[in-house]
Chains A and B, each alone.
Chain A
Amino acid sequence: EVHLVESGGGLVQPGGSLRLSCAASGFTFSTYWMTWVRQAPGKGLEWVANIKQDGSEENYVDSVKGRFTISRDNAKNSLYLQMNSLRAEDTAVYYCVRGGAGWAAAGTSRYYYYYMDVWGKGTTVTVSS
């Protein structure tokens, strides 16, 4: 069975750092894009970052650029999110998510798709003094 298990969340002071981890099992980790998505209390879903299968491409939401770094270790079937200079607005549940991506034809055109088909249970990050 496919599983994603996040860890590393907790309470941290503003300006502090935290490293989230995600352990994947039940699928060939190295063949999938991986994603971090967060959800602030009572709010909607917000994409944070994603990383290509071989780690050669990383993308970030503007609000975390320069502060967060996504990485992966395919030998360990693990995904990471290094979070520095944390702010109160980073408080959220952070989900590790498997991505499905590629090109598909629609009529006479081709469009890129990216969807997220397996979600972990999330780990809570609270930034507060």
Chain B
Amino acid sequence: SYALTQPPSVSVSPGQTASISCSGDDLSNKYVSWYQQKPGQSPVLVIYQDDKRPSGIPERFSGSNSGNTATLTISGTQALDEADYYCQAWDRRAVIFGGGTQLTVL
């Protein structure tokens, strides 16, 4: 079955750029979405169809997808961006989630 792989954790300093990767076989042939989940809260969609931002999501969130890797980029990272981030794709009539990446802003 198809699998998406994310690094367990990423650290970034406030104001810097955070990049979270998501890898899978021929991932560029699929559309990738990204979700942010803060402790005790429901996930929130931050990127869909590789690089589209839902209304209300700050412009500092962007996405890309090329080759076998999709990337969520957070520019000018703020303390409130500290959260778990999950990538997601669709494969053979199934929703696939990555294992999640804990973003620490320190």
Task: Categorize the interface residue count of chain B.
Answer: 20 to 34
A9 to chain B minimum Cβ distance, whole angstroms, is 14
Assuming the contacts A45-B97, A46-B97, asked whether A115 and B42 have C-beta atoms less than 8 A apart, the reply is no
Q: Does B7 belong to the interface (CB within 8 Å)?
A: no
Report which of A50, A109, A117 forms a contact with B95, defined as CB distance below 8 A. A50
Who on chain A is nearest to B54 by CB? Answer: A117
Q: How far is the CA of A119 from the CA of B45 in the complex (A)?
A: 9
Chain A residues with CB under 8 Å of B48's CB are 100, 113, 115, 117
A115 in contact with B29 (CB, 8 Å): no
Any chain B CB within 8 A of the CB of A14? no
- A93-119 vs B, CB cutoff 8 Å, 1 = contact: the mask equals 001000011001010010111111101
B residues apposed to A, CB below 8 Å: 1, 29-31, 33, 35, 37, 42-45, 48-50, 54, 84, 86, 88, 90, 93-100
Q: Are B29 and A116 closer than 8 Å at their CB atoms? A: no
Pair A59/B93 contact, Cβ less than 8 Å: yes
| 17 further interface pairs, Cβ-Cβ under 8 Å (given A113-B49, A115-B33, A115-B88) | A37-B43, A44-B84, A45-B35, A45-B97, A47-B95, A95-B42, A104-B49, A106-B50, A109-B29, A112-B31, A113-B90, A115-B31, A116-B45, A116-B95, A117-B48, A120-B42, A122-B42
